[in-house]
Structure 1
Amino acid sequence: MLSNILLITAVGLGSFRSVQSQSTPSICDNSTLLIDSRQVLTTAQECTAVAGDIVIQYASDYPATIEFPNLESIDGSFLSINFDEDIRVTRLSAPKLKSVTADVYISRWVNLTTINMPVLTTINRVRLNNLPSLTSANFLSTLESIENNYEVTNTSLKEITNDKLPFAVFVEIFDNKELEKFELKGLKNASYNVALRRNKPGVEVSLPALKEVFYFEFQRISSLEIPELERVIGHFVVNDSTVESLEAPKLQNVGLWYDPSISITNNRGLVIQNSGDSESLSFPVLEAVQLDLVIRNNSALRDISFPMLRRVTGNIGLEGTFESVRLPELDRVGGIFSLGNDEAGFNCGDLQAFKTNGTIRGEFSCPRYQELPTRSSSIGESEKEIKDWLNWASPSTGFESFRSMGAVAFAIGISTILLVL
């Protein structure tokens, strides 16, 4: 009796292994699963796990939807680039995919409208670019862990949102012609940059948990929420935008100078320019800016005030029709101080006092704007500039400069901290 049971069990296990081997094609174990025809796609659709990369190349016989109905994990990358313009595929779907060890990189599917990966949580890097018809990519919202980049370029997405992702190296959102909203609620740190460029004008940006970033650069935005931001290690730039009120209530430093051997290649520090709707700036605890502090061509701005700003390692450049400038704690400006103001009655006298008492190391120009000098890109010159700054001291002082006609205080401040470039 026992022997019969064992025999039945053995036969059953053999049948199970046979079915299992049939349901797991050998191509699933390839270091690269190359899909270049409908026939290969059909076989690959049986995979639940792939041991290496999935690479999708052009084939004329693909269906309108490329789907991997059983796929749960990829121990490599999910890649596809250089599809011809006439490819019929409009939808890419992997409804059970949870993790990709390396990258999700989809490029140049000009007719692709939808990427459906609703349970994908873990990848190394996402790169979506040159997908001009793409209107839906739900996995951008489900990601919980990413080791590297979060890049979305040249799509028709209207919203990019995520409330789970705490960290990324690069966050780059470029050339998205329909984008209206960008929101990463969980992002606390971006070790290289957060940058939006050349998207649809008027993007609403919300980064409510962000505390630290290296480079911070925004163009064509209509709002910016950064209530927890404390440190920008590189530069902070807002350009060509319609933000009416720009507030960074906890930002203390812009720029950290860690290594004198690293070349300084540009003048950017804290830069807010070409934003005609900006009526107010609020940087109440900003203490230091490295390299330059630049506020230019913001026609609605009337008052500039940086109440805690003490040091600007580079230059200060202010230009516009503002009525008042207040920098009560400023005691070191390593370069020039250039202020251009066509507002009748603006008083340069108190600002001149900064030059007289030695606070400003370079030239002082007011009310005529003098273009800021550029820096050498050589490591030797950068090292010399850093050492000169660190060895230079000036008397502590403060000032307030008001239009003689009135008392509207406007805050322009830019902080100096030591920046690694």
Structure 2
Amino acid sequence: MVVIKYLLPALAAANLALAADCGGDGTIKISSQGDADGYSSCKKLKGDVEIDGKARDTITLNGVKEIEGSFKAESATNLTELSAPSLESIGDKFELDGLTILSKLSMGSLTSVGSIKWQALPNLQTLDFGKSVSKADKVEITNTALTNLDGISLDNIGDLTITENRYLKSVNLDGLTKSTGLINFAGNLNSLEVELPKLISGSNMTFRNVSNVSVPSLHNLTGQLGFWGDGFKIFSAPNLTESSDLTFIGNKEARNISMPKLEYVNGGFHISKNDKLKSVEFPELKKVTGAVDFSGKFDEASLPSLDTVKGGFNMQSTGNFSCEPFKKMNKNQVIHGKFKCVGETKNPKTKSGESGTSDSSGTSTGSSSSSTSSGAAVVDNVANMPAMGMAAIFGYLLQYAM
């Protein structure tokens, strides 16, 4: 009897320990609220956590503050709400895919994740992230019903990919100061406004189908800055001094492109099919290592500080501007590649032979080389668009097909 007296409590304690297993090397799978409740005494879950496709209605992960691995939910087509009120960090990936009726995502304490990848969430309209996610290496959000990204407020980011969110009206990342990968916006609501007020440095940035891009603090980019089919009237980067390839194609409402401090383009500089743009003026631009390729309907063209163009130079417009300053540059060997400058032409062409305006299809005369020494603009070669992503590449090709 004495043995039983001490054995029973020991067995009960062992059962409790088993019930409170907080994971290990394997994946914790949750198919029901009962499964989730089994981990409510765990402050930390080791390994990965996966919401099973069989999960339905509401799943709430109570008590858990940290997931060491990934947190995933895929093809749970009957799941309407997912919440984790105490969760503060996810060590690896936070992935949601194919949750077609999910309408509420609530994680009021979450501030840190390894990366975010959400796709095919057509009923998710808002994020209930009270403290906001401030740390993530990569963020990819595709095909949701989100109207804004409130609840995501990053300090630094690698890749930021926001595509095919047809209700997205505004993105304001007011804490973001640095990006080391690709920032890509494409295929969202046409009236989308993107504000990056404190972004100082970045790598590649591409924008398609946005109505406004605000980068007042941007100083330098190691990669390209590209705009395709955007609806803004004015683009201003008042503090930008250097970039790799610069591209403005098919922004039909653009009336002003202002980069008053731009000095150095490490690649090609391409402007075409911006039919309301009447002036191309870059007063401090000194060096372009690729080609200068401007075509359209502008009446003024001014590059007074330009002293080196390692590629070719193509400037063609329907407008009445003077080619004399550029002919002088060519004569003085400022321009190392092939030179062409034509004003008052009915059919202005890009360097590759495409139409320089949106209301004339033009005829291609062949693809351009990627070599700056040949005079070709680097941005005319899709292979030279570093890490743009398929959506951005498609946008680039579509503009030339129009």
Q: TM-score, normalised by structure 2?
A: 0.81
Alignment coverage as a number of residue pairs = 353
* Preserved CA contact (<8 Å) 2:172 2:196: yes
1:165 counterpart letter in structure 2: L
User: Is residue 43 from structure 1 mapped to residue 38 from structure 2 by the alignment?
Assistant: yes
Change (3 A) 1:140 1:168: farther
* Preserved CA contact (<8 Å) 1:277 1:299: yes
- Pairs within 5 Å for 1:52-131: 52-59=47-54, 62-83=55-76, 87-131=77-121
- The one of 321, 324, 330 aligned to 1:355: 330
| 1:64 aligned counterpart, secondary structure | strand
User: Is residue 204 from structure 1 mapped to residue 193 from structure 2 by the alignment?
Assistant: yes
- Give the deviation of 1:354 after TM superposition: 1.8
Paired position in structure 1 for 2:399: none
Q: Distance in 2 between matches of 1:53 and 1:19?
A: 26
Change (3 A) 1:124 1:226: same
- The one of 156, 168, 173 aligned to 1:167: 156
Paired position in structure 2 for 1:306: 282
User: Is residue 272 from structure 1 mapped to residue 262 from structure 2 by the alignment?
Assistant: no
| 1:340 aligned counterpart, secondary structure | strand
Paired position in structure 1 for 2:147: 158
Q: Distance in 2 between matches of 1:133 and 1:52?
A: 29
- Give the deviation of 1:43 after TM superposition: 2.5
Query: Which runs of structure 1 show a deviation greater than 6 angstroms over 4 or more consecutive aligned residues?
Result: 17-21
Larger radius of gyration: 1
- The one of 264, 267, 270 aligned to 1:294: 270
- Pairs within 5 Å for 1:223-372: 223-255=212-244, 269-343=245-319, 345-367=320-342, 368-372=348-352
Q: Distance in 1 between matches of 2:40 and 2:20?
A: 12
Q: Distance in 1 between matches of 2:109 and 2:13?
A: 27
* Preserved CA contact (<8 Å) 1:24 1:46: no
* Preserved CA contact (<8 Å) 2:247 2:271: yes
Q: TM-score, normalised by structure 1?
A: 0.77
Aligned identity (percent) is: 25
Q: Distance in 1 between matches of 2:130 and 2:305?
A: 44
- The one of 370, 375, 400 aligned to 2:369: 375
Change (3 A) 1:289 1:69: same
- The one of 11, 17, 25 aligned to 2:19: 25
Change (3 A) 1:140 1:313: farther
* Preserved CA contact (<8 Å) 2:129 2:151: no
User: Is residue 149 from structure 1 mapped to residue 124 from structure 2 by the alignment?
Assistant: no
Paired position in structure 2 for 1:394: none
Deviates further, 40-49 or 114-123: 40-49
* Preserved CA contact (<8 Å) 2:122 2:145: yes
Q: Distance in 2 between matches of 1:24 and 1:321?
A: 74
Change (3 A) 1:361 1:317: same
Q: Distance in 2 between matches of 1:69 and 1:363?
A: 67
Q: Deviations over 1:47-95 (max 9, x none)?
A: 4321111012211xx3411111222211111012233xxx321111111
- Give the deviation of 1:42 after TM superposition: 4.3
Gaps of 5+ in 1: 1-10, 256-268, 377-381, 390-413
Q: Distance in 1 between matches of 2:71 and 2:240?
A: 38
Paired position in structure 1 for 2:395: none
Q: Distance in 1 between matches of 2:17 and 2:56?
A: 22
2:309 counterpart letter in structure 1: V
Larger RCO, structures 1/2 (Cα 8 Å, 6+ apart): 1
Q: Distance in 1 between matches of 2:253 and 2:131?
A: 31
Paired position in structure 2 for 1:379: none
Gaps of 5+ in 2: 1-5, 343-347, 353-366, 387-402
Q: Distance in 2 between matches of 1:340 and 1:205?
A: 31
2:70 counterpart letter in structure 1: S
Q: Deviations over 1:352-376 (max 9, x none)?
A: 2221211111111222424346335
Q: Deviations over 1:153-201 (max 9, x none)?
A: 1111000135742111111111111101011111111111211011111
2:167 counterpart letter in structure 1: E
Q: Distance in 2 between matches of 1:140 and 1:183?
A: 16
* Preserved CA contact (<8 Å) 2:78 2:99: no
* Preserved CA contact (<8 Å) 2:119 2:141: yes
| 1:365 aligned counterpart, secondary structure | strand
1:158 counterpart letter in structure 2: T
Deviates further, 37-46 or 115-124: 37-46
Paired position in structure 2 for 1:261: none
| 2:38 aligned counterpart, secondary structure | helix
Q: Distance in 1 between matches of 2:339 and 2:87?
A: 61
2:64 counterpart letter in structure 1: L
1:57 counterpart letter in structure 2: D
